[in-house]
Amino acid sequence: MAEPKKRVLSGMRPTGRLHLGNLHGALVNWVALQRRDDLDCFFFSADWHALTTGYADTSSIRTDEREMILDWLAAGLDPVRSTIFVQSAVPEHAELYLLFGMVTPTPWLERVPTYKEQQQELRDRDLGTHGFLGYPLLQAADIAAYRASLVPVGQDQVAHLELTREVLRRFNHLYGELFPEPQPLLTVVPKVIGIDGRKMSKSYGNSLWLGEEAESTKKKIMGATTDPARVRRQDKGNPENCGIFYLHQLYSSGERVREVDAGCRSAGIGCVDCKKWLLEGLLPAQAELRERRAAIAAKPRLVREIVEDGNGRARRAAGETLEKVREAMKLGPLDEEG
Ligand code: TRP
Ligand code: SF4
């Protein structure tokens, strides 16, 4: 018999349109994983997680979610190969979160580094909530609901995975071996720099959106920060200090990348030419994403149908797990003799 497929699970908070950092940092990897026949992939919109910091204004969650899922589909996530769903449509996550809460010591949550960091960063909101403290425990429930063993995430999520493993170990110890220990799948993530020279991030306002229009892409690229040491055309540069160079690595041929590297270091090429070369690869790639996105968006109920189908598949999978959990905790149905 063939080995049972390993489950892969990952999620994103619904924050609206995705940028090229999200595309190359996560989505490209998700698309590659769904093609593997030894894996069974689940990808979801973490709308409850969005509430942990954004509970005060919930008005845009569903529109942001639709934009995000359209981007997933445009990037090539395939709803037949992957189960695409919404966290809050699968209440089993909440049940498991509650049960995990019973066995998780509060200090385990207080010492997760993102807990204090985010409270510092988002000082304008009151994050002294139960829900915010529980963020990583909800994430543990997301993963455990599918008994997933592989979790493709960025380095920033490693501490959350560590907590997940600790909670699952404790559960398995108390009630019997039910959950595999999930491993983070840290893939080599290419560097994607925003147009201001900092890491591409929605909150910095320096992003290139997935499938962005040609005119605005051009404008952003032509105005983008380059190696700050190249003030004049004749100054030699270091491509490693320039976001344009990292985009060349994603959108230009190997030969072109070598040409840029040498030309930048010798001041043989200027930044304007270098940027025009980048657009030769970037614009067609963006056009293709834009067209795929528009074709999906043009079908009025398609996204909804995809998600409803995924929600059903996810509920069946999570439902099976929860039945086992209730049984293991002696919380199953009342028996006749009882
Ligand atoms: N915390 C993750 C992030 O901010 C999103 C997330 C929620 C997640 N639940 C998950 C990722 C479960 C992987 C598995 O990116
Ligand atoms: Fe950046 Fe290209 Fe200018 Fe070098 S030549 S600094 S890589 S834009």
H helical segments located in the chain: 20-22, 28-34, 47-54, 61-74, 92-103, 106-110, 113-121, 130-133, 135-144, 158-175, 214-222, 243-251, 254-266, 271-297, 302-328
Atom of ligand 1 nearest to the CA of 148: 14
pLDDT score for 126: 86
pLDDT score for 156: 87
pLDDT higher than 70, residue 155: yes
**Which residue has the CA at smallest separation from atom 4 of ligand 2?**
264
Weakest mean pLDDT among 1-15, 83-97, 99-113, 324-338:
324-338
Residue pLDDT, tens place only, 37-70: 999 999 999 999 999 999 989 999 999 999 999 9
**Alpha carbons 210 and 162: distance in angstroms, whole number:** 31
* Torsion from C-alpha of 57, 63, 64, 69, nearest 10 degrees: 150
Q: What mean pLDDT comes out for the span 96-104?
A: 98
pLDDT score for 123: 84
Minimum-distance ligand to the CA of 193?
2
Atom of ligand 2 nearest to the CA of 224: 8
* pTM for the full predicted model: 0.94
**Alpha carbons 72 and 86: distance in angstroms, whole number:** 13
pLDDT score for 335: 77
Polymer length in residues for the chain? 338
Between the CA of 97 and the centroid of ligand 1 the distance, in Å, is: 14
Residue pLDDT, tens place only, 289-313: 999 999 999 998 999 999 999 999 9
Yes or no: say if 6 and 38 are a contact pair by the CB < 8 Å rule.
yes
pLDDT score for 162: 96
Residues paired with 199 in a beta bridge: 193
* Domains (range + CATH), the chain: 6-192+301-328 (3.40.50.620), 211-295 (1.10.240.10)
Best residue among 30, 44, 153, 168 to mutate for probing ligand 1's pocket (most ligand atoms within 8 Å of CB) is 153
Minimum-distance ligand to the CA of 87?
1
Q: What mean pLDDT comes out for the span 147-164?
A: 94
Cβ neighbors of 179 (< 8 A, separation 6 or more) are: 144, 147, 168, 171, 172
Which of 117, 115, 116 has the alpha carbon at shortest distance from 134?
115
pLDDT higher than 60, residue 338: no
pLDDT score for 2: 72
User: What separation in angstroms does the CA of 267 have from each of 85, 176, 236, 257, 270?
Assistant: 50, 65, 5, 15, 7
Sheet holding 6-12, edge to edge: 82-86, 39-45, 6-12, 150-152, 183-185
Yes or no: say if 3 and 38 are a contact pair by the CB < 8 Å rule.
yes
pLDDT score for 89: 98
pLDDT higher than 80, residue 164: yes
Which of 249, 242, 280, 295 has the alpha carbon at shortest distance from 264?
242
Q: What mean pLDDT comes out for the span 238-251?
A: 96
How much is the mean pLDDT over the chain? 95
Q: What is the DSSP letter of 82?
A: E
- Which carries the bigger pLDDT value, residue 334 or residue 67? 67
Between the CA of 151 and the centroid of ligand 1 the distance, in Å, is: 9
**Alpha carbons 90 and 74: distance in angstroms, whole number:** 24
**Alpha carbons 63 and 120: distance in angstroms, whole number:** 28
Between the CA of 11 and the centroid of ligand 1 the distance, in Å, is: 5
Residue pLDDT, tens place only, 269-285: 999 999 999 999 999 99
pLDDT score for 189: 84
Between the CA of 29 and the centroid of ligand 1 the distance, in Å, is: 15
- Which carries the bigger pLDDT value, residue 187 or residue 263? 263
HEC profile for 184-201? EECCCCCCCECCCCCECC
Between the CA of 105 and the centroid of ligand 2 the distance, in Å, is: 51
Ligand 1 pocket, Cβ-based, cut-off 6 angstroms: 9-13, 46, 49, 139, 142-143, 151, 153, 157, 160
Minimum-distance ligand to the CA of 52?
1
pLDDT higher than 80, residue 171: yes
Best residue among 139, 146, 161 to mutate for probing ligand 1's pocket (most ligand atoms within 8 Å of CB) is 139
pLDDT score for 3: 81
pLDDT higher than 80, residue 1: no
pLDDT score for 241: 95
Between the CA of 176 and the centroid of ligand 1 the distance, in Å, is: 26
Between the CA of 10 and the centroid of ligand 1 the distance, in Å, is: 6
Instruction: Work out the percent of the chain whose per-residue pLDDT is above 90.
Output: 88
